[in-house]
Structures are given as C-alpha cells and as structure tokens.
Amino acid sequence: MSHERIVIIGGGHAAAQLAASLRSEGWTGPVSLVSAEPSLPYHRPPLSKTYLAGAQHSDEILIRPAHFYANANIDTMLGVRVTAINRAEKYITLHNGARLPYQKLALVTGAVVRKIAISGAWLDGVLYLREMEDAERIREYAAPGKRAVILGGGYTGLETAASLRKLGMEVTVVEASSRVLQRVTAPEVSEFYTRIHQEEGVEILTGSAPASINGKSQVESVTLQNGQRISADLVICGIGVLPADSLAEDAGLKVDNGICVDEFARTSDPDIVAAGDCTTHYNPFYDRTLRLESVQNATDQAKAAAKTLCGKLEPYKSLPWFWSDQYDAKLQIAGLSQGYDSVVIRGDHREARSFAAFYFQNEKLIAVDAINRSKEYLMARRWLSEGRTPAPERLADESIPVQELML
C-alpha cells in the first residue's frame, strides 16, 4: 500500500476532505489531487454571500491552506482538466495529453450549473454562480444603482439577491414556480423569504419565466413570457445544477442522476470510489436512493470513501443538514422535507424573523427548517438522528421550553 497511488479528481469540499482523511486514516502512498480549477479547494457557500459581497478574500475561504497539502505530501495539480479514465490500464488522461497512472481512484467531481437555453443567453453580463471565478466576474458588474435580474428563486438565487442588495444594486428575482423555494420548503417558509426580500427592496416575480435576454453585445433587459420587460445590467442564472458524472459515464461506470455508489462510497469498479454532489446513494434515514448537494454530504461521504480506500469499511449513514444566510436570517435545515404531508410552525413567520417549521410524514418527524432558532434546530437534529418524534401540539406551543418538548 505504501507504493500505491491514489488519484483524486475534483477540487471541492469532498476532494479536500478525502485528501486529509487518507492521511489521517494511515494511507502512506502517493496522493495526487487533480482539479480543473486554478485554486486550492475552497468553501463554496461564501461565494453567494460574504465573498460576493466583498467581505472575504480568496485566501480566507480556502478549506485548508497551501502548507497543509505540502506537509501532508499531497501533490496538487491545479488548473488541470481530466479528459478520460482508462480503467483497464489504470490511468487518467489530462487535457494536455499526459497520462497519470493510479492504483486507486476517487471521483469527487461535484456538479455543474444547468445552462439556460433562451435567446441572448450568450450576451456579456449573463453569468452563473458556481465557482470563485464566477463570483469575481459578478462583482465586476455589481455597482450601486445598477440593475440585476436573477433567474431562479432557489437558495443560491436568493442568497445572491441579498448580497447584491448589500452592494446597492436594484434586484429582481424571477421564479417560474408559484413561489420561491417551492421544491424544498413549505408555503410558510416561502412566504417568509418573499416577505423579507421585499422588505429589503428586492422585487420578487413568481409564476414568471424568461422568454429572452436582450442586448447587442451586453445584456440590456430580460423579457418574460408574459411580455413584461425588465431592464438589466447583469443577469444571473440560478436554475439548478447537474451532477458532473460524464467522466464516469464515459468510463463505463454505473450512472443514474449521478455516479452510483454503495454505502462504502464504492462505484461499480472496486478500485474507484466517489463522493459528494456527483454521487447518488442510498440513505438509511429516508430509505431511498438520492443525490445531495451539500457540504455535509460531501464531507461525510468523503470520510467514508477514505476509510474504504484504506481498507476500513464503515457505512456512510449521516443525517443530511444544510444552511442558508440571507440578511439577518440564518436558516438551519436538518433532514429532508420532500414528501411531507403536514407542517407545524413554531413562532411567527408572518411578522418576525425567527421561527421553525417542522415537517411530518405519516405522523413522523422528517425535517426542520429553523430560522434564527438554533435551539430548535439542534434539538430536532437529535430527534431525527434518534428516530424520535415529538407531539405536534407541543411543538406549536411556544410556552413549552425547547428542552421540554419531548417530555
């Protein structure tokens, strides 16, 4: 094992964690981290928040500093794109034609933005937000008084809207669904976020889809399908991401909305593991196969993958959790709310900026959205991990202290 090489393809949270965990788990052989991005792995959540707003610099969002990789004897190959995997002869081909051999391979390729397919999508000033370079380009267009149109009312779109408002821009969010965050939250949570964005000066247009982006070379406006035209100096498309699984698919690995892995992060090739946004896997908490786009999943699944590569099989079985920061509202999410059939609200979502939404399915607690409610979040995360469900009527009663809700 001391002479076997592990090659990690990817440069996000999973890549950074996997590299570190390999050393902490005892791997002594060569480790190469190959990333298409020119930077060392960095935290992605700040891109739509503090980094976009200019409150953090690039070196401040690195997951680990450069000296960590040097001290751990991890070879970092940055700005290098992998074009193919040869599983039979165990080497990868780089964009310059060079070959890099491996004995074990880790695919942590993450996700790529879903591109919008309408007229004018090619114009200058039409941007996406996934990588550090994207945030830097957006900042070049951001200035007080200028107008930004954000296509997509998901978390990234709303976080970007909040950051651009802090920079003094006029912001309109266009969402095709009937409410923002429709795919991932209850109506009460959507109502809350619509309200606070409107209070902060953001225009929210739901049930509205873009028909075209207009301009000669630089974006000037967006036309909606209902004929409404919105002036724009900047358009940011936030219509979701797709798993970056084409490299795996081309290599003949099993792929289904992501690279298919088992509970030990193993792909259909026993010498290749995968982790993070690019994978689809079975989740024991929800008894179904799913793909998660989160820092938590990338980090925890990468730890499991590193153990597997080091011959220590431990199943990946973490409860999903997420977060979102918008203005003074810190959202903490535990669990997955998809498939809920009832919601209990604790607090005032119509007037205040602090409440929690508890999601139930067949009278079982399955998730919580806690906004400026860290106690409820931490308690619900424990309940979910333990498979416990409090009485809904007690959850709704704020006279009962959080620590007594299960009594």
Domains and CATH numbers, the chain: 6-112+242-309 (3.50.50.60), 126-237 (3.50.50.60), 328-404 (3.30.390.30)
The answer to whether the beta carbons of residues 302 and 14 sit under 8 Å apart is: yes
**pLDDT tens track for 195-231:** 999 999 999 999 999 999 999 999 999 999 999 999 9
**Per-residue exposure over 166-176, b if at least 16 CB sit within 10 Å of its own CB, e if not:** bbebbbbbbbb
59-113 pLDDT, tens per residue? 999 999 999 999 999 999 999 999 999 999 999 999 999 999 999 999 999 999 9
Quick one: average pLDDT of 375-390? Answer: 96
- How confident is the model at residue 1, as a pLDDT? 52
The kind and range of the H/E element at 383 are helix 374-386
pTM above threshold 0.75: yes
Q: What is the pLDDT of residues 289-340, one digit of tens each?
A: 999 999 999 999 999 999 999 999 999 999 999 999 999 999 999 999 999 9
HSE-CB at 25 with a 13 A cutoff on CA atoms is 22
- Torsion angle, CA of 180/182/185/188, rounded to 10 degrees? 60
Residues 174-180 have a mean pLDDT of: 97
Mean pLDDT over the full length of the chain: 96
Pairing, β 31-35 against β 74-78: parallel
Q: Which of 117, 131, 128 is nearest to 154 (CA)?
A: 128
- Average pLDDT on 165-191 reads 97
SS3 category, 317:
coil
Report in angstroms the alpha-carbon separations of 124 from 127, 235, 238, 292: 8, 9, 16, 32
Residues 180 and 153: beta-carbon distance below 8 Å: yes
pLDDT beyond 80 at 3 = no
Cβ neighbours for 311, distance < 8 A, ≥ 6 positions apart? none
pLDDT at 241: 95
- Give me the pLDDT at residue 286, please: 93
Residue 238 has pLDDT above 90, yes or no: yes
What is the per-residue pLDDT for 247? 98
Q: What is the pLDDT of residue 54?
A: 87
Cα–Cα distance for residue pair 355/374, rounded to 1 Å: 10
pLDDT score for 407: 73
pLDDT tens digit sequence for 333-366 = 999 999 999 999 999 999 999 999 999 999 999 9
3-state class of 204 per DSSP? strand
Provide the pLDDT for residue 2. Answer: 62
State how far the Cα of 174 lies from the Cα of 203, in Å rounded to an integer: 9
- Only one residue has tokens 């992060």, namely 265
Per-residue pLDDT, averaged over 367-380, amounts to: 97
- Return the SS3 of 99: strand
> What confidence score (pLDDT) does residue 406 get?
85
Integer Cα distance of 373 and 347 in angstroms: 9
pLDDT tens-digit map of 149-170 = 999 999 999 999 999 999 999 9
Q: Do the beta carbons of residue 33 and residue 75 sit within 8 Å?
A: yes
Given CA atoms 118, 120, 121, 127 in this order, what sign does their dihedral have? negative
